């Protein structure tokens, strides 16, 4: 079972930046996807970005050009650099791991991910 621990959340003003980290442990396999999701109050969890261990990335349209997902494989850590933040980015952010083969249609489905972190809050004020 993979253990995931997020950090780096906080409160910023609109236009600011934050970098989230997700430290992973317990891996015993060579191919996986790591996803970032967010859930705002009263809304469903939505996919933000995902990265494969080979470096392939995918983003939600709402964050393209502002967010960047990256990974440090030796450190088993995935990052989400968030720039030009807006109030609508306010949410609890979660990282998740998937062993499935994900596609352009499935990468953003929470059901495709088998391990989740506890989440880190991001609050953006106007």
Mean pLDDT rounded to a whole number for the chain: 93
**How far is the C-alpha of 44 from the C-alpha of 125, rounded, in Å?**
21
On whether the CB atoms of residues 77 and 8 are closer than 8 A, the answer is no
Convert the pLDDT of each residue in 77-124 to its tens digit: 999 999 999 999 999 999 999 988 888 889 999 999 999 999 999 999
Phi, psi (5° rounding) for residue 88?
Answer: -70, -5
At residue 94, the pLDDT reads 98
Pairing between strand 120-125 and 57-59?
unpaired
């Amino acid at each position: 079972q993979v253990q995931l621990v997020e950090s780096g959340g906080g409160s910023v003003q609109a236009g600011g930046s934050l970098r989230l980290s997700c430290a992973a442990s317990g891996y015993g396999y060579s191919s996986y996807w790591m996803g970032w999701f967010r859930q705002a109050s009263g809304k469903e969890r939505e996919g933000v970005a995902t990265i494969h261990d080979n470096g392939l990335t995918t983003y939600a349209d709402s964050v393209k050009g502002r967010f960047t997902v990256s990974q440090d494989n030796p450190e088993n850590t995935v990052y989400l650099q968030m720039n030009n933040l807006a109030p609508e980015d306010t949410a609890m952010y979660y990282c998740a791991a998937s062993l499935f083969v994900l596609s352009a249609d499935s990468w953003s489905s929470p059901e495709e991910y088998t391990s989740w972190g506890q989440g880190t809050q991001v609050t953006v004020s106007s």
